[in-house]
């Protein structure tokens, strides 16, 4: 079967070194197996995303020397233009009686949540799962607009990550009922990513470790909707010399600044070195890294980013 991989950035700002590493490794994973690369624009949030930023993102990837076989700015590959697909999946979940409205404000949500033991994320308590029809009516009358959650079962889900190995969550305890549609009617990432990966035939998902904890819920949602979950590969986080996670706040690692500092080959060579594919950060093109790519070389623990 042909491998189909994707890169799915959000055009909410300029890409960051971590996004570039994910893009490069997703690309190498596909190209080293003669697969098909899809570029999907995850521009669900109209407040934060724009077509200009998406165009910039596409141009930044091209500058780096990455290419793709499907997608980009075409409407069928932009989440903001795919609402019908999310609507259909949502209706399917409604038919399965897995959807309920949640009227909690942000403060109520936090108060009614249990912190997740391992990563500090909050797990929704299910506060609105059992509201009566009258209670819902009263809340609506008071002007509350609900978000919609999907009810997760008490079930252990294990994903076999192609890079990180086995990862298990008990959905009700470690994830909780999660939002699939926000109160402003914007579709949630968790629903959109599953629907899109399924409809775009994505077989391999390569992305940062920050999304590992979302993967069991996504695998579960794939199955509930009648799809086969993709094979996941999660990459270690990039950290600074003090072990702190690099963030969007580290402006010097933002694509705007990186492009002023490095040539595309210097940047790709540096990323290839961080990913364990070459012994030094010497310049390289993405093509030159294809034959050197193997998952066994890629670190599994945090990658320290110093200067080159």
Residues of the shown chain interacting with Zn ion in the complex, contacts defined by CB under 5 A: 102, 104, 127-128
Shortest spacing between CB 85 and ligand GLU, in angstroms: 16
How many whole angstroms separate alpha carbon 297 and alpha carbon 51? Answer: 37
Shortest spacing between CB 14 and ligand GLU, in angstroms: 12
Shortest spacing between CB 193 and ligand GLU, in angstroms: 5
User: In this chain, which of 4, 181, 207, 222 binds ligand GLU, going by CB under 6 A?
Assistant: 207
Binding partner of residue 10 among ligand GLU, Zn ion, none, CB cut-off 5 to 8 Å per kind: ligand GLU
Instruction: Pick the stretch among 4-12, 144-152, 221-229, 280-288 that binds ligand GLU (CB under 6 A).
Output: 4-12
Binding partner of residue 199 among Zn ion, ligand GLU, none, CB cut-off 5 to 8 Å per kind: none
Instruction: Pick the stretch among 2-10, 56-64, 273-281, 289-297 that binds ligand GLU (CB under 6 A).
Output: 2-10
9/229 with CB nearer ligand GLU: 9
Sign of CA dihedral 272, 277, 283, 289: negative
Instruction: Pick the stretch among 5-13, 168-176, 278-286, 292-300 that binds ligand GLU (CB under 6 A).
Output: 5-13
Shortest spacing between CB 8 and ligand GLU, in angstroms: 4
Q: Are 105 and 143 in contact (CB under 8 A)?
A: no
* DSSP tally for the chain: helices H, then strands E: 10, 14
Q: Are 3 and 36 in contact (CB under 8 A)?
A: yes
How many whole angstroms separate alpha carbon 214 and alpha carbon 216? Answer: 6
Q: Rule CB under 6 A: is residue 211 a binding residue for ligand GLU?
A: yes
Output phi, psi for 247, to 5 deg: -130, 175
Binding partner of residue 253 among Zn ion, ligand GLU, none, CB cut-off 5 to 8 Å per kind: none
Contacts of 228 by beta carbon, 8 Å cutoff, 6+ apart: 222
Please give the full DSSP string across 127-156, using - where no structure is assigned: TTTT--HHHHHHHHHTT---EEEEPPPS-E
Shortest spacing between CB 18 and ligand GLU, in angstroms: 9
174/197 with CB nearer ligand GLU: 197
53/149 with CB nearer ligand GLU: 53
| CA within 13 Å, CB half, 142 | 11
Binding partner of residue 9 among ligand GLU, Zn ion, none, CB cut-off 5 to 8 Å per kind: ligand GLU
What the block records as the tokens of 239 is 């950290």
How many whole angstroms separate alpha carbon 295 and alpha carbon 73? Answer: 30
Pick out residues in 146-175 that bind ligand GLU (CB under 6 A). none
Residue listed under structure tokens 């094979």: 231
Alpha helices by DSSP H, listed for 126-254, are 133-141, 189-199, 215-224
Pick from 99, 86, 195: which is nearest to 148 by CA? 99
139/237 with CB nearer Zn ion: 139
Pick out residues in 7-46 that bind ligand GLU (CB under 6 A). 8-10, 42
Shortest spacing between CB 290 and ligand GLU, in angstroms: 21
Q: Are 210 and 238 in contact (CB under 8 A)?
A: no
- CA torsion 287-205-70-51 (nearest 10°) is -100
Shortest spacing between CB 226 and ligand GLU, in angstroms: 20
User: In this chain, which of 20, 78, 102, 193 binds ligand GLU, going by CB under 6 A?
Assistant: 193
Binding site for ligand GLU (CB under 6 A): 8-10, 42, 193, 207, 211
């Amino acid at each position: 079967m042909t491998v189909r991989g994707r890169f799915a950035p959000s055009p909410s700002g300029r890409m960051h070194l971590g996004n570039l590493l994910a893009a490069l490794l997703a690309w190498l994973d596909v190209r080293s197996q003669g697969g098909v690369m899809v570029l999907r624009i995850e521009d669900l949030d109209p407040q934060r995303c724009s077509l200009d930023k998406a165009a910039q993102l596409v141009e930044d990837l091209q500058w780096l020397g990455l290419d793709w076989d499907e997608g980009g700015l075409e409407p069928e590959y932009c989440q903001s233009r795919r609402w019908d697909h999310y609507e259909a999946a949502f209706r399917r979940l409604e038919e399965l009686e897995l959807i309920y409205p949640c009227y909690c404000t942000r403060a109520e949500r936090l108060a009614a949540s249990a912190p997740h033991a391992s990563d500090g994320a909050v797990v929704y308590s299910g506060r609105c799962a059992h509201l009566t029809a009258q209670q819902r009516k009263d809340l609506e009358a008071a002007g509350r607009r609900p978000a919609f959650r999907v009810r997760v079962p008490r079930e252990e889900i294990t994903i076999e990550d192609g890079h990180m190995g086995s990862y298990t969550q008990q959905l009700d305890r470690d994830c909780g009922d999660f939002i699939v549609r926000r109160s402003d009617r914007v579709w949630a990432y968790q629903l959109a990513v599953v629907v899109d990966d399924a409809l775009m035939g994505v077989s391999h998902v390569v992305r940062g470790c920050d999304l590992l904890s979302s993967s069991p819920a996504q695998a579960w949602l794939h199955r509930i909707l009648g799809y086969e979950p993709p094979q996941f590969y999660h990459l270690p986080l990039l950290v600074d010399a003090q072990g702190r996670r690099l963030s969007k706040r580290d402006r010097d690692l933002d694509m705007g600044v990186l492009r002023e500092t490095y040539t595309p080959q210097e940047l790709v060579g540096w990323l290839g070195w961080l990913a364990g594919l070459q012994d030094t950060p010497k310049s390289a093109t993405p093509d030159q890294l294809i034959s050197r790519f193997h998952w066994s070389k890629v670190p599994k623990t945090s990658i320290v980013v110093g200067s080159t």
